[in-house]
Structure 1
Amino acid sequence: MKSGGKDIPAEKALDHVFGYAVGLDMTRRDLQGEAKKAGRPWEVGKAFEYAAPCSEIVPASEIGHPSKGKVWLKVNDTLKQEGDLNQLIWKVPEMISYLSGLFVLQAGDLIYSGTPAGVGPVKRGDALVGGVDGIGELRVRVV
C-alpha cells in the first residue's frame, strides 16, 4: 500500500496501491493443527519467521493494475499450482475495501491473495519458484 485508511470505498481502493509482487503465504500445519485441537486461534500457524517471502514490488505506475495473468508455483521443478488473476474470488479493490473495514491499513502494508488449487506440504531443502505473469518471480529454498 502507498497509503492507507479506514473504510476505503472499493471505487477508491486502487488509489491506495503502490504496486504488486509475488509472495508465498506459508503455513505451519503442525502448529495450526495443534491450535485447532486445543480450540485456540490458528494464527500461530501463519505468524512465524519467514512465513511470507515476497519478491521485489513492481510499482503500479509501471504495470497498471493487473486483472489477468497466470499465477503458478513449482516445487522442485514440478508444477503444483496454476491459476489466473481473473479467477480471484475477491478482486483487489474489494479486498482493500473489506480489509480496511476491519483494520486501519497503512502505507507499507502487504495484502496476500490468489492461491490456486494445489496447496500442499513442503519440506526442508525443497526449491519453490512462483510467479505471476507480468509481475515477476520469486525463488525460495525451504530451510
Structure 2
Amino acid sequence: PGWGSFKRNDVLVFNFLYQMNRWDSIRMDVMQYYVKRCIALPGDTLEIRGGFYKVRGCDEQLGNYDAQQYLANLKHPEQYGIVVGTFPYDEQLGWTIREFGPLPIPKKGQIVMMNRTNCLLYRQLIGWEQKKKLRIKDGQIVLGDSV
C-alpha cells in the first residue's frame, strides 16, 4: 500500500516506473517489479568510492558487499558489457558506477540550494511535482518561464 518505515539494507519491492511520452508524467507497470536494497535514507549523503557504497556518518556495510568487491577489482568493466556511466550522465560531473556522488538524499522539510549539480540531480522530480520544466538557461536555474 505504500511507504512504511524502512532502514538501511532492507529489501524494498516496488512497481516498475516508466516515463510516458510526456516529460511531466510517469506510469507504473503493475506487472513488473523492482527489487532493490535500501542503501541511504532521507537526510543521508550517498557516495560510491572505489566501487563501494558509503553513507556519510555511517560505518555499517551497505548492500551486496561481494558484488561491490567484484566491481572494484575489475580493471576494465566495459570489456564485460558493464555500463560505467551513470545518472545524471553529465561529463562535467564524471560520475561512474565506481566513483559517484556525493548525492544528498533530502528529507522532509530540508532546504536544498539550487545550483547546477542539484538541478541535474533533482530536475526530473521537481518537474513532475511542479508540472514545469526545471532547466539551466544562461547559467541560471529556471522553473517554467520564470527566471
Bigger relative contact order, structure 1 or 2, given CA contacts below 8 A and separation 6+? 1
Q: Comparing both structures, which one devotes a greater share of its residues to helix?
A: 1
Is TM-score (shorter-chain normalized) higher than 0.5?
no
TM-score normalised over the length of structure 1: 0.24
Q: Comparing both structures, which one devotes a greater share of its residues to strand?
A: 2
